[in-house]
Amino acid sequence: MSPYDFPTISSELGRSPEAAIDRNYYSRGAFVPPLPAIDGIDVNRLVREFGSPLFVFSERDLRAKARRAKEAFGSRYKKSAFAWSYKTNYLNAICRIFHTEGWLAEVVSDFEYEKARALGNPGKDIIFNGPHKPRAVLERALAEGALVHIDNWDELNLIEELARSLKKPVDVGIRVWLDCGIRPIWTKFGFALANGEAAHAAARVIKNPKLNLHTIHTHIGTYILAPEAYRTATQNLVALREQLLLEHDHLVPCLNLGGGIPSNSLLHGMAKPAEHVIHPIEDYAEAITGVLNNLPENRKPWLRMEMGRHLVDEAGYLLTSVVAMKGHDRPTPTTTDLSARTAKEWLLLQEDSKRGIVVDVGVNFLYTAAWFEIGVWPARLVNTPAIPTRLYGNLCMAIDVIRETVDLPTLDVGDVLTLHPVGAYNFTQSMQFIDYRPAVVLIADNGKPELIRRREILADINGPELLPARLARKT
């Protein structure tokens, strides 16, 4: 069963007027469909074997997404290449799955660069983005042949300085930001296109005998719902490339359109099923390659994409267990106007009427819950009507709410719930606030669950700490 088959009605009002209209007060369904298994493996069994809470990733989904993306672009445009955005999820097993599918590594810090190298990627298979690349790692990356995308003038100065001592010229890219109709515009990264800054930076690189301008890069944002924005971005990069050819006789070999392609997830307030909101990857491929395919054959650049959330979000699940039920005894309305609509609205909307469920995982592992409406799926079918419920995390902190309102049946302590999709950014942005980070299991292609990260223990947290002798307890 696809977790997106139901519910089609959001119980959250959100900020979208469309969501408000779509709410159906009188037909909320008789039960919440369960999610008993992931890739055929019973979720209760996973919790019994590996504990709760538990992150679970599906290798089948990861590979299917990677292959479909490759096909979408590759079938339209032969010179397509792909990089996996480490920050989205840098668990080693996950990165290796993408590398075995032929994806390069896209990294944004010394830590991620070292991780990519430690996983066996040669420098030439690493794209290095990010607004701050410390001198030491820049030196290493240039020496190892990684493709550094230059973000700003200070970084360009530093690279020019480092390049002086290089024996051979090195390939580099420049990052640009541009207006392709998306708001807000991400102006933090790269050189501005519109005012000529990007062309200036590119010219400086081209004129440097130790640097070879290999790539023009833009990453227009994340969870971009409009494929058309990529068409505009591609047209802009192509125009800059043509300008550089004309003015400097240098044909930049590669255009990199970044990431940003959404997963099938919904922001708070989006009432429709994700399939109605999210375009298929093929629409994005068509928008980008449509522009490139209009170029004469000998002028076609390499196209690179650096994807993150689209590839991994839906492959990731978080299993959690109910630890407490709250607010069972909902007070009856005291209003004198008990017309059906008023009474039902009261039941649905009033703060006091909301039942609460506390689970054993908190928003410290679900950073994206602030923006995304993460789906909640009981492991078993409970044949009682769904009731608007607030899903609380386990942290001792009032803002630890995973879902303000989600329709759930009456559950028992120990019931397992699956939160989905959660594969993008949640693990990498998680922190051991109050709690240890949970174990992570990968369900392999052959259907076998494999532990790819154990639950943390005290030593993981205490490891880097140093206790001055004067503060140590005297026994």
Ligand X SMILES: Cc1ncc(COP(=O)(O)O)c(C=O)c1O
Minimum gap (Å) between residue 119 Cβ and ligand X: 18
Q: Between residues 217 and 437, which has the closer beta carbon with respect to ligand X?
A: 217
CB closer to ligand X out of 52 and 85:
85
What is the rounded distance in angstroms from the CA atom of residue 359 to the CA atom of residue 12?
20
Closer to ligand X by Cβ: residue 315 or 348:
315
Question: Which of 260/409 has CB closer to ligand X?
Answer: 260
Provide DSSP, 327-358.
--SPPPP--S---HHHHHHHHHH-GGG-EEEE
Residue that the structure tokens 């030593």 belong to: 459
Q: Which is nearer to ligand X, 85 or 320 (CB)?
A: 85
Q: Exposed, middle or buried by CB within 10 Å (0-12, 13-18, 19+), for 423?
A: buried
Least separation, in Å, of the C-beta of 233 and ligand X? 13
Cβ 106 to ligand X, closest distance in Å?
A: 6
Asked whether the beta carbons of 60 and 445 are under 8 A apart, the reply is yes
Characterize 304-338 residue by residue with b for buried, 16 or more Cβ atoms within 10 angstroms of its Cβ, and e for exposed.
bbbbbbbbbbbbbbbbbbbbebeeeeeeebeeeee
Residue closer to ligand X, measured from CB, 53 or 260: 260
Q: Decide: 257 and 47 in contact? Cβ < 8 Å.
A: no
Question: Which alpha helices (DSSP H) does 180-260 contain, by range?
Answer: 197-207, 227-248
Contact 313, 427 (CB under 8 A): no
Cross-strand bridge partners of residue 302: 254
Nearest residue to 230 via CA among 192, 261, 252, 206 = 261
Minimum gap (Å) between residue 220 Cβ and ligand X: 9
Give the nearer residue to ligand X in terms of CB position, either 103 or 346.
103
Give the CA distances from residue 180 to residues 183, 228, 235, 345, 393, in Å, rounded to whole numbers and listed in that order: 9, 8, 9, 42, 39
Nearest approach in angstroms of CB 243 to ligand X is 23
Strands 104-107 and 41-42: unpaired
Is the distance from CB of 90 to CB of 121 less than 8 angstroms?
A: no
Minimum separation from the CB atom of position 111 to ligand X (A): 15
For residues 152 and 405, which CB has a smaller minimum distance to ligand X in the complex? 152
Of 80 and 389, the one with the shorter C-beta distance to ligand X is 80
- Give least dist CB 309 to ligand X, A: 4
DSSP-assigned beta bridge partners for residue 325: 357
141: tokens are 């990356």
How many residues make up the chain in this entry?
475
Q: Where do contacts with ligand X occur on this chain (CB under 6 A)?
A: 85, 88, 106, 129, 219, 222, 258-261, 306-310
Q: Which of 66, 3, 93, 61 is nearest to 316 (CA)?
A: 61
Taking the complex as a whole, the smallest distance from the CB of residue 272 to ligand X amounts, in Å, to 21
Q: Least separation, in Å, of the C-beta of 176 and ligand X?
A: 12
To ligand X, the closest distance from the beta carbon of 7 in angstroms equals 26
CB closer to ligand X out of 80 and 88: 88
